[in-house]
Structure 1
Amino acid sequence: MTTSPAAWLTWLEARNKNFANPTGFLSITNLVWLTNEPQTIQGISGSWWAEGDTVFVNDSNTGNHSWPIEPRGEISFDYDGIKVELASRNGQLVVRPRDPNNQMLQSFEGVITFDYNPGFCVTATLEASDAPKEVVVGSVVEGMTHAYISPGALVFSIEGNEYRLTAFDKANSEDLTVYYKDSTSGNITYGTGRSVNAFHQEDGSYILDFNYSGNFPCSYTDFATCPVSPVENKLPIAIEAGEKKPLYRNTVEGIMSQVAK
């Protein structure tokens, strides 16, 4: 893992490309939790409902259809001129329409970041737990939780002061992921925190480069089910590195301005 300014610019370019995806998170126009009662969904034709782990639609335009969804799984497909995502979250099924003409997507001008600061690229060691444990964190959706496996805490120093952050396993990787908040959260950066990867080194240490701290999708839209940072992962310092709060946010009331300093 290279953490030079040039490599960071490549990462930033990839982030911008991802957010500008015509059917990515910024194209989502709604988030609807399905029940066993048929309901219409703004932006999609037909009546939609769920029974068990299956989503159903009765549509005079396209006919009747059903899709089984794996626990915590998701599928997406073209439907009636747009992209539709079906997902399982906390045992409930949701529908999210994705429209490439969504105003939020059209207004996106790129990720806003701090300048690259090498002082926020640190070496961390893993303070391993006796055994990996499940850590349950909250969500931006009230009453919802997310569960992750943690091997322990990453310990590191910034300007001579030691800090530790609970880390989570990454699938099929020796690298780890950290969800954290700091004293910029809710002001310059998004309030529920940011995510950063810790890259495993041959000597067993980790490179934790906060310049690669990224926003959760919920920083851009109400129509997300993102986790919030673990309570213990609040740093008492300002991590002025990585992504800042986006300029705009897609809400149930429309596109709203956010102050990004």
Structure 2
Amino acid sequence: MTSTTTRPGTTTGTPPGPDDPRSGAPLAWTRWRAERERALAEPHGWLTPVALRWLASRPSAVEGVPGTWWTDPAGHVHLLAQRADGLVLTGAADALDGAADFAVQEGGSQVVARFRPAGRTADDPRGEPAEVAVELVRRTGRDALRLRDAWAPARLGFDGVATFPYDASWVLDAPVRWYDEPQPVTVGAAQPRLVHHVTLVGEVDLVRGGTVTTLRLTGAPGGADAALLLTDEAPGTAPWRVLHVERPADAATTVRLDLNRLLNLPFAFSDHGTCPAPVAGNHVPYAVEAGERAPHRVDAGALDRAHAEAAR
């Protein structure tokens, strides 16, 4: 369970001196921020989801997606499409003319197809890819299609993610206790009626201004590192954020937490993310004014009007 205590006289996170390895951190952070924003702005990155369509158990048309789709109790997804639908499977060169089947594990996802919406040509005057990627996701025993459109307003209008200024006092060497065995736990999600099954791999003490807050770490994909999902009292931030934590190979009893690298999860950029929520109680009882702020949501109508004006 997360706990918070106060220890008078305890301080941490002091600015680094000239011999501290953190002294070069602002430049490294700036470069890391540039790479983060480059990745977000990729043609089918996390700025591009425009729809999340849950599949029925009978063959059905899916709004905004060519073909006929359905799922079965075994977790397999089935597709029927004609060549005229223009639906191209991942790895294929030509449009599907027939049937295809897919499956992803619980909590997983995979881009299975792509198509060009009606009215779009390959020669987009803005130089943007014209195709929509069809991502198959499985959450809480249900299958859905998430559409990633390179023409999404959030991507075309992207001008970076607002962040708090870099502050060396938010780089903390925190006591950590790694669990001998992972502990399974169920958490909520960014979408209603969904859950995620995650594993607890340890706990860390966040110490600042005399306050000690114990937070739990969850396993990250691949198993090498951990994730710290948390809520806090900072204004103008997403409901929760995540910090990726490097897990030392040895039995180290401290871990470096650079809270300047707190990130928004995909759900902060669109209404179509299914991200896991923090473990119950992973709340910092003060404002963590570090890392990413809540992203600006682009007005699709205003963006279309701006593009039309620019084309005149």
Is TM more than 0.5 here?
yes
**How many angstroms apart in 2 are the aligned matches of 1:6 and 1:162?**
29
Deviation of 1:78 (Å): 4.0
Q: 1:102 aligns with which of 132, 146, 152?
A: 152
| Counterpart for residue 68 of structure 1 | 102
Q: CA separation in 1, counterparts of 2:55 and 2:293?
A: 33
CA–CA separation in structure 2 for the residues paired with 1:173 and 1:96:
26
Query: RMSD value over aligned CA atoms?
Result: 2.2
Equivalent pair of 1:137/1:228 in contact (CA under 8 Å)? yes
Distance 1:131 1:74, change over 3 A: closer
- Alpha-carbon distance in structure 1 between the residues aligned to 2:37 and 2:222: 25
Aligned counterpart for 1:188 among listed residues 211, 236, 253: 236
SS at match of 1:148: strand
Contact 1:5–1:116 (CA under 8 A) maintained in structure 2: yes
28, 38, 54: which one aligns with 2:76 = 54
Change (3 A) 1:69 1:182: same
Which residue identity does 1:44 align to in structure 2? V
Q: For 2:111, give the aligned amino acid.
A: S
- Structure 2 residue corresponding to 1:35, chosen from 56, 66, 84: 56
Q: Cα–Cα, structure 1 residues 6 and 109, in superposed 2: closer, same or farther, change >3 Å? A: same
User: Corresponding residue for 1:219?
Assistant: 268
Query: Which whole-Å deviations, capped at 9, do the CAs of 1:216-246 have from their partners, x for residues lacking one?
Result: 1000111111111222111111000000001
CA contact (8 A) 1:112 1:245 kept: yes
Secondary structure, aligned partner of 1:17: helix
Deviations 1:164-197, CA, capped at 9 Å, x for gaps: 111112344553210000002xx41011x00002
| 1:150-165 → structure 2 map (5 Å cutoff) | 150-165=200-215
AA matched with 2:79 = V
User: Is contact 2:267-2:274 (8 Å) kept?
Assistant: yes
What do residues 128-154 of structure 1 show as CA deviations (whole Å, max 9, x unaligned)? 456431121101121211122112310
What's the counterpart of residue 125 of structure 1? Answer: 175
* Richer in strand (by share): 1
TM-score under structure 1 normalisation? 0.87
| TM-score normalised per structure 2 | 0.73
Identity %: 26
- Tell me the distance in 2 between the aligned counterparts of 1:153 and 1:59: 49
Larger Rg: 2
Q: Distance in 2 between matches of 1:219 and 1:240?
A: 17
Is the counterpart of residue 232 in structure 1 residue 271 in structure 2?
no
Structure 2 unmatched ranges of 5 or more: 1-20, 85-95, 117-131, 303-312
What is the one-letter code of the residue matched to 1:189? Answer: T
Are positions 1:198 and 2:206 aligned together? no
Are residues 248 and 133 of structure 1, via their aligned partners in 2, closer, same or farther at CA, if it must alter by over 3 Å?
same
Question: Are the equivalent residues in 1 in contact too, given 2:50–2:270 (CA < 8 A)?
Answer: no
* Cα gap change, 1:132 to 1:162, in 2 (>3 Å): same
